[in-house]
Chain A
Amino acid sequence: MPSTRSTQAEADASGPPRARRTGGPAPASGARAARPVRSRSARAAGLAGALLLLLAVLVLSLAVGAKPLSPAEAWDGLVHSGSGSHTVVHQMRLPRTLLGLLAGVALGLAGAVMQALTRNPLADPGLLGINAGASAAVVSAISFAGISSFAGFVWFAFAGAGVVAVLLYAVGGGHGATPARLALAGSALNAALFSYVNAVQLLDTASLDRMRFWTVGSLGAAQPSTVVRVAPFVAAGLVLALLLARPLNAMAMGEDAARSLGARPGRARIAAIAAVTLLCGSATAACGPVVFVGLMVPHLVRALTGPDLRWLLPYCAVLSPALMLGADVLGRVLVRPSELQVGIVMVVLGGPVFLYFVRRPRGRAAAA
């Protein structure tokens, strides 16, 4: 949380520079000039607080469910193989929790990188069709190739996510693409890919039963083996995304400025697309397409840290899984004894937030 000193600094700076910021589509550089540079210690303290929050949600995710456990029982079940809650925790809640953690990290970082890369505040892997690309590829793998294990279809998911990421960037990235244009292009791709997914489901009713749960985005069927297999991909994406913080920061000031600062925009762009592909592909393969995590968390974090990606990305990596797991826990509680899939809770939470971004004055300025 910000110290007194930094809030004071913000109060000082909230006059004219803020007005300047509302002027345009606000590349991060403009916003950075306006925002006070918060002290390193305040941001570090905030990050520590976020970690604590994540920890609390992790405990909740282990404890809440059809058989409610106290935090102590959950801990007991986690570490003592003899305890009564051991089976529940180890067989069901731990894989689910870890998968939510990994998928949350992946989706949040992917959203943050996409927003920086496209300079588009509305970018989200779900809204822009990247998850749909992975879904279409996974559904094809399930239906045509008979592949049903995560290890088998994760490569399809990467291929699908990668193709859409490249296509989207070719279409909507670069100069002259307004957020509305990019969002339109993305949701058009979404429509095309999901109509393909529908068609495949229709031709193959045997797979429909499995696919209809997967295509809403769910952590419920988490397997320990999936967690083990998805972890390296998410880790690789995480490292790549964090390495991109500096070059993407530079690119926010424009390609020429970035070049003169020694960044190589071409290489950074390719690396960013690779990171988004890795992150979205693995998250989608593991738990189906989940929308809005990558939209909400970076927005929230930007309000806390400002647009500097060196802080934004770590915050996102901590808060996105907190949101993802929080939504999952909420889904387990809301409609007991049944449960709402995490993708659906996220839509219900994220949709109104999206509409809020669209409607507030700055969103409108950015969309114009």
Chain B
Amino acid sequence: MSGGDPGRTQRFAVVRTPGGLSFRFRPRALAVSAVCLLVALGLGVVLIGSGDFPMAPADVVRTLAGRGSPADSLIVNEIRLPRVAAGLAVGAALGLAGAIFQSLVRNPLGSPDILGFTQGAATGVLAVIVLAGGGSAAVASGAAAGGIATGLLVYAAAGRGGAHGQRLVLVGIGVAAILTGVNGYLLTQADIIDAARAVLWLTGSLDGRDWADAAPVLAALAVLGPLVLVGCGRALRMLEMGDDAAHGLGVPIARARLIMLAAAVLLTSLAAAAAGPVSFVALTAPQLARRLTRTTGPNLLPAACMGAALLVAADWAAQRAFPGHQLPVGVVTGLLGGGYLVWLLVTERRTGRI
């Protein structure tokens, strides 16, 4: 897959330090990342400024810098910032995880929504809500545990050396179908109040998120982000050329794949723990990033920045779409993502990539 236009050359820039280190990067990819990040942060400021107590963006920025009035400071730092921070982190985590999955399975549709990981996180949460009636901390750990357990299950079911593209996809789809059934069953076992709460969670929502919700996914991004970007970006790019080529270029295939799979599953699970299984961000962000950077390869950093921008934009739209109704963000990403998906299916068919 990883098409890209063969006619376009990929331009690299190289920076050499006096000490003999050198970095190679694509200026366009870096520019796209920067623009996405700026859009994400800008939307974040807008989002912080909007609500029942509106604030001008300038006030928001001043308050964030620590020079606002006490009242502003309370609203921004205690109430709205955690929600926006959670949104940015979840979006970035999903974008990054999606980019890793799509590279690993060599298919633009290979996102965690489709391979069963979000369903697994949902199973964990439903089990907590329905069977134990747990609070939000228990729900979050249920999501993380469910997602990680599903990751292990899929990896084990794919079998020795089976974690390559097609088989991983098919095993993931099978596991997703099983878990969907299990989730449906758990939903029928709940009383109607728990069921409504579970459906809200299953849709993906940022309502009422505080620092405790945002912290785990922020920490995961801080640790896994650099690890994946620096440590695995190259290996991932090689793996996209095929196992044989990558092996020939000296990539330790099995180990690289396992590490990246683990990182992606962890990011997905923690994102789901923070905001629920927000659909389609992991699918669309890497695709949009790839189109903007016009380069092949996993595009990890642009995908993460794009994910953050998408999620915050969707959250903003969800609060504005129906006056009087506050929709959960997952409804917006689901509807937009579904439309995008159909378009992707139709256009990508011609290029033969799906």
Chain A: residues with CB nearer than 8 A to chain B? 122, 126-127, 167, 170-172, 176, 178-181, 183-185, 187-189, 191-196, 198-199, 201-203, 205, 208-209, 212-213, 215-217, 291-292, 340-341, 343-344, 346-348, 350-351, 354-355, 358-359, 363-364, 367-368
List, in ascending order, chain B residues with CB within 8 A of A364's CB: 166-167
Say yes or no: A292 contacts B177, CB within 8 Å.
Answer: yes
Q: How far is the CB of A297 from chain B (nearest CB, A)?
A: 16
17 contacts between A and B (CB under 8 A): A170-B349, A181-B354, A184-B110, A187-B176, A192-B337, A195-B280, A205-B196, A208-B195, A216-B184, A217-B184, A340-B185, A344-B184, A346-B181, A347-B181, A355-B174, A355-B175, A367-B167
With A176-B352, A195-B280, A202-B199: A215-B184 Cβ-Cβ less than 8 Å: yes
Contact status A212-B114, CB under 8 Å: no
The answer to whether A341 and B188 have CB atoms under 8 Å apart is: yes
Q: Which of B170, B195, B341 contacts A212 (CB 8 A)?
A: B195
Give the shortest distance, in Å, between A167 (CB) and chain B (any CB): 7
A216: which of B177, B185, B200, B341 is its contact (CB, 8 Å)? B185
Q: Which residues of A contact B327 (CB under 8 A)?
A: 199, 203
B269-287, CB < 8 A from A:
279-280, 283
Check A192/B334 contact, CB under 8 A, given A212-B187, A292-B177, A348-B178.
Answer: yes
A264 to B269, CA, bound (A): 50
B192 x A344 contact (CB < 8 A): no
Q: Is B328 an interface residue (CB 8 A)?
A: yes
A184 partner, pick from B114, B195, B331, beta carbons under 8 A: B114
User: Contact at A195–B203, with CB atoms within 8 Å?
Assistant: yes
Docked pose: A171 CA to B335 CA in angstroms? 20
Complex contact A127–B167 (CB within 8 A): no
Complex formed: what's the CA distance from A188 to B173 in Å?
A: 10
Complex CA–CA separation, A368 to B279 (angstroms) = 28
Asked if A196 and B345 make an inter-chain contact with CB atoms under 8 angstroms apart, the answer reads no
Question: Smallest Cβ distance from B112 to chain A, in angstroms?
Answer: 10
Of B162, B169, B200, B331, the residue contacting A183 (CB under 8 A) is: B169
- B113 close to A (CB within 8 Å): yes
Q: Which residue in chain B gives the minimum CB-CB distance to A192?
A: B338
Indicate with 1 or 0, residue by residue over B265-303, a CB within 8 angstroms of chain A CB atoms: 000000000000001100100000000000000000000
Cβ–Cβ contact A126 & B177, under 8 A: yes
Contact flags (1/0) for B322-354 with A, using CB distance below 8 Å? 000101101100110110011001100100101
- In Å, the complex CA distance between A132 and B187 comes to 18
A201 to B185, CA, bound (A): 16
Contact A202 B328 (CB under 8 A): yes
Q: Give B130 Cβ to nearest chain A Cβ, in Å.
A: 12
